[in-house]
Amino acid sequence: MSYGPHTTTDEVLAGVELTGRVIVVTGASSGLGIETARALAAHGAEVVMAVRDPGRAADAVAAVGSHGHLVTLDLASLDAVRAGADAILDGWSRVDVLVNNAGVMATPEECTADDFDLQLGTNHLGHFLLTARLSPALGDGSRVVNVTSAGHFISGMHWDDPHYRTRPYNKWEAYGQSKTANVLFTRGLAQRGRTAYAVHPGKIASGLYRFLPDEERAAIVGEQPVSGEQQVKTVEEGAATSVWAATADGIPSGSYLADCQVADAAAHATDPAEVDRLWAWSEEEVGETFPA
């Protein structure tokens, strides 16, 4: 079957059996996260739904059903990430797939509990630490799926001041930097022998856009021509590439994926020197080394 921008999660998973597989999905309480969890659970996977506020995850629980299990995880706090990772490890000795799906976009200037830029801290550093902590459970045949964005083309890493402590804040540059970090992290995992993919889901009218003014949101996900990258996807189409990355065979590790196909990432997100620099910097920021 030929896949493309209109491919849905159910089409990707047609005939796929996931019984016995344990899959962790962050940000599973809304949007792409719910759909990713629902689709995988529908094919038999046991899905650990890592959410910031379990009290607001009723819709997600209803969608996923008995194969879903809620765990509290706040990516904007390293202590909370450690606690969430411990809860996952206490419940499951093995994780077959980790889908680092949660994220924020174009937020007002704000810091995490650890004084990181909110977008870089949530989108990358929280997931970096979570992946490191879950690493003992990610055994042979496991894979990590990092949800990034074509927004990574906006900006590379700003090593002089990645957290905007002295320079003026720019919400889109900050978003682009965080999404570049997702791609660099994916490449770093692949270089260290892990199976990992960076996924661009496309434009989906979801809660990710909640921080944008009405006019700006409408310009991005409002009525647009039905062609190419400008087209807004449904959540079923947007989550399809994550599901494909989580289950398909033969995709080269470290790949950047879009529309259920291998695509080209920005040069600044694939530079080997930047991959190594991000890895070392991330370990220093979170205060932990990534297990070999």
Per-residue model confidence as pLDDT tens digits over 102-155: 999 999 999 999 999 999 999 999 999 999 999 999 999 999 999 999 999 999
* pLDDT score recorded for residue 56: 87
* pLDDT score recorded for residue 265: 98
Going from N- to C-terminal start, the domains of the chain cover 9-286
226 confidence band (pLDDT: 50, 70, 90) = very low
* Pure H helices in 194-247: 214-221, 235-238, 240-247
208 confidence band (pLDDT: 50, 70, 90) = low
Catalytic residue list: 175
* pLDDT score recorded for residue 289: 92
Q: Over 70: is that where the pLDDT of 229 sits?
A: no
Mean pLDDT (the chain, rounded) = 92
* pLDDT score recorded for residue 59: 87
What top-level class would CATH report for the domain 9-286? alpha beta
Residues in CB range of 187: below 8 A, 6 or more apart: 198, 254, 269, 270, 272, 275
Q: Over 90: is that where the pLDDT of 50 sits?
A: yes
Q: How far is CA 2 from the centre of its chain?
A: 24
207 confidence band (pLDDT: 50, 70, 90) = low
* pLDDT score recorded for residue 205: 62
* pLDDT score recorded for residue 252: 98
Mean pLDDT computed over 36-52: 98
d(CA 88, CA 105): 26
d(CA 92, CA 200): 28
Given a contact cutoff of 8 angstroms between Cβ atoms, the answer to whether 74 and 50 are in contact is: no
Given a contact cutoff of 8 angstroms between Cβ atoms, the answer to whether 158 and 215 are in contact is: no
- Comparing 88-92, 179-183, 288-292, the range with the smallest average pLDDT is 288-292
* pLDDT score recorded for residue 231: 75
Q: Over 80: is that where the pLDDT of 261 sits?
A: yes
